[in-house]
Structure 1
Amino acid sequence: METKPPTTGKFSLTYGAILGGLSIIFALMLFSMDAHTSREPLNQVISVVMSAAVIVFGIHAYKKANEGYLTLSEALKLGAGISLVSALIFIVYQLILTNFLDPDFASKVMDIQMAELVESGQLTADQAAQQKEMGMKFFWIGYPVILIISIISGLIIGLIAGLVMKKSRPAY
């Protein structure tokens, strides 16, 4: 009796849920410290390292379940799939954050961005107020951007991991 080969979809859902959960835990930690609106580069680095680690671990687990074999296309599917699932979970969290946990989140983020632009002399205070008003109307556009950037970064991580870990089945 032959065993069924593992599916990339199953591993994408599993590890995407793990990454989404870890991302929410990290975001809640920042929220509890009132640092969820901060533009600290370290937060971005931690998120990228966490994403890369879970994606690489998911690809490795798939390879192990697939008798030690992995193609580049499977690694790309896994990278994109894990990123897609985790991004969807994180977007749901963001919607909860902006609508229930911190309804002023968008305004706080826009205030920080506008203050930086005014300080650097790129905008006057009046221009910043107009920018903020316009930005508030289109704040929702960030959700599809999160999705797209997440999938692209998952593809890149999957490509690198796939090139390192790929192993073809013998032809015989």
Structure 2
Amino acid sequence: MENTSTSTVSTASAGVRYGLLVGIASAILSLILYATNLEQSPVRWVSMVVLAGGIFLAHQFFKQHNNGFMSYGQGLGIGAVLGAVSGLIGGIYMFVYTQFINPDFLTIALNKARTDMEARGNLSDEQIEQGLQMSAKFMDGPFLYLGAVLGTLFFAFLLALVITAFTKHKRPEFE
């Protein structure tokens, strides 16, 4: 007789596994974008494709190990865990990058922001300075790293809301 049962995988383990993969892939992508000065180009949105692809693959992995079934709630749970783990890796990467690889990150980002504000031409010098001071507060210290974690978690959850609608496969009630 053929053994058709597969081992079950929890939503947390699927989310952690693919969260690690997505986090590492996103960190590598981010490093490439910074090295090629494309961090402000539309190419940076490729990280959202990586995140969405990771959620989709995590759903497929979960279903493969759970007899092809996954509820909507399980799909959202996988996406949330994946986003939290990936965001944590992103926050750690951002810390290492800004503290050791590119300690001038804040200065470069603020200079770019100043140039962009001046190019618009609709702000006074005082308004530009106020904006830069406010930006510096949020780009320095724990706000930057916490923002990376929470931002990734937020976008992963939004993507999971949509992706799960297509990947869910409920177990029949009368099985």
| TM-score in same-fold range (> 0.5) | yes
| Cα pair 2:11 2:74 within 8 Å, conserved | yes
The residue that corresponds to 1:13 in the other structure is 16
What is the SS of the residue equivalent to 1:138?
helix
CA contact (8 A) 1:56 1:157 kept: no
- For the residues of structure 2 that align with 1:27 and 1:11, how far apart are their CA atoms? 24
Q: CA contact under 8 A between 1:8 and 1:74: conserved in structure 2?
A: yes
User: Unpaired segments of 5 or more residues in structure 2?
Assistant: none
CA distance in 2 between counterparts of 1:27 and 1:112 reads 18
Superposed structure 1 runs of 4+ greater than 6 Å apart: none
Number of matched residues?
A: 168
The whole-number CA distance in structure 2 between the counterparts of 1:11 and 1:96 is 27
Q: Return 142-151 or 49-58, whichever deviates more.
A: 142-151
| Distance apart, 1:160 and its partner CA | 1.8
Aligned 8 A contact 1:13 1:85 in 2? yes
Deviation of 1:161 after TM superposition, in Å, equals: 2.1
Pairing 1:167–2:141 present:
no
8 Å Cα contact 1:83-1:150 kept in structure 2: yes
Q: Residue 134 and residue 163 in structure 1: after superposition, are their counterparts in 2 closer, same or farther (change >3 A)?
A: closer
Question: Aligned with 1:168: secondary structure?
Answer: coil
Unaligned runs of 5+ in 1: none
Cα deviation, residue 6, structure 1 = 1.2
Question: Please, what TM-score do these two structures have when normalized by structure 2?
Answer: 0.86
Q: Residues of 2 paired with 1:95 and 1:169: CA distance? A: 43
Q: TM-score, normalised by structure 1?
A: 0.88
Q: Is the 8 A contact 1:52 1:157 kept in 2?
A: yes
For structure 1, which segment, 99-108 or 142-151, has the greater mean C-alpha deviation from structure 2 after superposition? 142-151
**1:166: how far off?**
1.5
Distance in 2 between the 1:101 and 1:149 partners? 22
* C-alpha deviation, 1:157, in angstroms: 1.8
CA RMSD for the aligned pairs? Answer: 1.9
| Greater Cα shift, 66-75 or 160-169 | 160-169
Fraction of identical pairs, as percent = 25
